[in-house]
Structure 1
Amino acid sequence: MRSIESLADLFELAQCKATYFDLGRHIQKLTPQETIQFDRQQAAYPYPYRQQATFAIVLHPKTDKLSSDNMSIWFIRLPIDEKGSINLGTRDHLIKSIVDKILKDDNSADLSEALTDNPYAFKPDIERMASFHAILAKQMNKEPSSYFSELITYLTGDISREDDSWNTIGIQGIADLATRANEDKYKPIIKKTLRNAPLTLASALAKALEHEELDDDYLMFIVAEFRESINIEFKASLIRAVSRSNGHQRLSQILQLSLVSGEKSANDDQLQLIVALVAKCPHWLANDSELLHLTMENLAQRDDGFYAFSKISIELTHTHLVKDALWSLFRNNKIGSRLAQAITHLFNKSNKTLQ
């Protein structure tokens, strides 16, 4: 048997083709080059999230065209090291733990049960699973789920924030609509939903949109909705909706005003906005020093013993995009006294952990 030194070697031995999707901050297809580089330790994992590489692998026999009848899907989560690369030891342990399960005596492969009881396997939450299936189905040119037509029928009727009759509509239909966000046919329906639908439904759609690259027209619309809304959960979901957009400047000024805590301690409403920003939009923080500064100042003002500040600082220091900008802020002599105190607390805590 040939040496298996990567996931690619494993799939070559099993005679199957693999397509990778990152499932961290957003659901997005990984390019073959990105896959080869992180799999063979030639580069860091391109989209780390919460100090992990979280991805799906769609597998099917090399000799067949991909279809729902012949594919297997693996959901895998592996820790990354301080350089952002997948931890080699855990990667090798993953490979070793499934070799015996998928390779039979006759060298045929059984992929469906390969990750049973595997410590690196996980099941995405229902919203992420729905979005993943919608994205995969669209890439395979499959029709949307039956829930999609039910949703469209509902949304093209008279809807209002107060209506609760939408509760029978499946989450899969919402995910199917989000994948069609950039089709002219559905843009008016999506805008109508965000503006007029019950907030729970509007928020669910906004969250599903986080996996799409929305155009400037959407961005302007969502900025206006953010400005007008008084519901903090909906505002946080709107941040997520445009999180793959590079036009963050249009939201930045509004966010900055929202994060100014004044003399009082920062509140939980502001924290919800920060969590959405940090979780889904680290590139905004990396490219906007003032927004990053206000975010960290706000966290430092919270009356929680610097708990939220520490948690989010650790996440950002493990996020390649924003790490350098954060360290630059921490070294700035012109920061406020409360932020300086929070930074001192963070480093003292880190030193104690190391000891």
Structure 2
Amino acid sequence: MAHFETLTDFIRQTEAQFRIFDMGRCISKLSPDTFRQVEMGHIPYPTPFLHQAWIAILMWNPKQADENVVWFLKLPLDEQGFLVQAARDDFLNRLLQNLSNTMGKGPLDQPTDATEYRDALKDNPFSFTPDQEKMAAFHATAKLTTRQPASSYYDAAKQYFHGKTKLSDWDTLGYQGIADYVIRHQQGNNEQKLAEIFPQLPDVPLEAACTFIEHIQPAEALSTTIRQRLETTVTEGQASANQVGALLRAISQTPESEQKIAVLSEVLKSPYGREAEVIAALASRCWASLQYPQLLQLFLETLANNDAGQPCFNRVMADLMFIPTLRALSLQQFRSLERSDALSKAIGGMFGDGFL
């Protein structure tokens, strides 16, 4: 059986075209060169989530792009965010053994098409299945990447977000159609139309759209209207914590700005800031904004007073401190003489539970 030093090397020897995506906090492209550097142990995984690297590998034959294969993998990281080499080697050995058994070929034998790799992860402990929301977003992303048509639900979603049907008729929309529409935001005038209708969207289609906006890079118009709706929602105080969390997910990929930091600060100062759903959205999706020291300070103080108590504080910090920049900044805040008694107590509880 042939030996491969990295998973990237193995994929490159096939005839399939491929793309690698990070699937942790949001769906984003991960260059093969970067992932190979991670595999070689030269750099830590750039966007760890829950102490693991969550990735998707999309493979397809250029002549049969509609017959693509997707591998969803979660690989453990060490305390510094580097890939655990033994786990990667174990995964690769299982993969090669499965291919030899199911295809009746050595790994260097070229496949007839990419679908021969479809069952390569059968019974592999490093594989995972994304939740419904992320699966719909990835399906839309895969279709766009391989230049395939959107799902049959796309046209109805387009009609809705373009204002061609009543706002109250959202219950006729397919979830996959909303994913397709948002992921294809750069096609036609989709993003502009979404920005125009966003302030009027009813709760359900609003939250669904936000779920998928977190996987794109919104331009100025859409970024502005997301920020304004989040600000209005928090000020009025009538929405659910889930809706505020959804809007935080949507704003997470908008460009960093003073206005964005200001509205995130308002969220933290409001009663919503102590809700578990809102804290989770802020920590897992808006982590880049938390690199602003003033916002991080406010976040930590609010987290120390969260409605779910010490366990919530521990879980959130265990994830955030896995990100090198946030670990360093958080430790600075922990040492601050200006920290509150509540934060001091939460920090003591965290270290007392064997956090590090």
Shared fold, TM over 0.5: yes
Check whether the contact 1:299–1:309 (CA below 8 A) recurs between aligned residues: yes
C-alpha distance in 2 between matches for 1:116 and 1:245: 38
Residue 76 (structure 1) aligned with residue 73 (structure 2): yes
Could you list the per-position Cα deviations for residues 163-222 of structure 1 after superposition, in whole angstroms to 9, with x for gaps in the alignment? Answer: 2x4223211111111113244611343134422232111111011010111122222211
5+ residue gaps, structure 1, are none
Partner residue, 1:294: 298
Check whether the contact 1:246–1:284 (CA below 8 A) recurs between aligned residues: no
Check whether the contact 1:259–1:270 (CA below 8 A) recurs between aligned residues: no
Partner residue, 2:250: 241
- The AA in structure 2 aligned to 1:298 is T
The 4+ residue runs of structure 1 with deviation greater than 6 A are none
5+ residue gaps, structure 2, are none
Check whether the contact 2:45–2:81 (CA below 8 A) recurs between aligned residues: yes
Q: 1:283 to 1:49 in 2, by over 3 A?
A: same
Q: 1:18 to 1:39 in 2, by over 3 A?
A: farther
Deviation for aligned residue 1:268: 7.2
C-alpha distance in 2 between matches for 1:303 and 1:221: 29
Residue 209 (structure 1) aligned with residue 213 (structure 2): yes
C-alpha distance in 2 between matches for 1:240 and 1:145: 24
Q: 1:328 to 1:142 in 2, by over 3 A?
A: same
Check whether the contact 1:301–1:338 (CA below 8 A) recurs between aligned residues: yes
Partner residue, 1:67: 65
- The AA in structure 1 aligned to 2:302 is N
- The AA in structure 1 aligned to 2:251 is V
Deviation for aligned residue 1:309: 1.1
Check whether the contact 1:194–1:203 (CA below 8 A) recurs between aligned residues: no
TM-score by length of 1: 0.88
- The AA in structure 2 aligned to 1:258 is V
Residue 253 (structure 1) aligned with residue 262 (structure 2): yes
Partner residue, 2:158: 152
Deviates more, 1:103-112 or 1:196-205: 103-112
Check whether the contact 1:216–1:247 (CA below 8 A) recurs between aligned residues: no
Deviation for aligned residue 1:335: 0.7
The structure 2 residue matched to 1:89, chosen from 51, 63, 86, is 86
Residue 187 (structure 1) aligned with residue 191 (structure 2): yes
Check whether the contact 1:239–1:277 (CA below 8 A) recurs between aligned residues: yes
Check whether the contact 1:47–1:53 (CA below 8 A) recurs between aligned residues: yes
SS of residue paired to 1:226: helix
C-alpha distance in 1 between matches for 2:223 and 2:342: 34
Partner residue, 1:272: 277
| Percent identity of paired positions between Structure 1 and Structure 2 | 27
C-alpha distance in 1 between matches for 2:12 and 2:267: 52
C-alpha distance in 2 between matches for 1:293 and 1:350: 23
Residue 171 (structure 1) aligned with residue 175 (structure 2): yes
C-alpha distance in 2 between matches for 1:9 and 1:186: 38
Instruction: Give the count of matched residue pairs.
Output: 341
Q: 1:184 to 1:15 in 2, by over 3 A?
A: closer
Q: 1:303 to 1:143 in 2, by over 3 A?
A: closer
Could you list the per-position Cα deviations for residues 286-337 of structure 1 after superposition, in whole angstroms to 9, with x for gaps in the alignment? Answer: 1x11111111111212354412111111111112231111111111111111
C-alpha distance in 2 between matches for 1:303 and 1:16: 50
Check whether the contact 1:267–1:302 (CA below 8 A) recurs between aligned residues: no
TM-score by length of 2: 0.88
- The AA in structure 2 aligned to 1:323 is R
Residue 138 (structure 1) aligned with residue 135 (structure 2): no
Check whether the contact 2:195–2:221 (CA below 8 A) recurs between aligned residues: no
Q: 1:14 to 1:125 in 2, by over 3 A?
A: same
RMSD, aligned α-carbons: 2.3
C-alpha distance in 1 between matches for 2:322 and 2:220: 30
C-alpha distance in 1 between matches for 2:26 and 2:190: 21
Q: 1:15 to 1:335 in 2, by over 3 A?
A: same
Deviation for aligned residue 1:122: 1.0
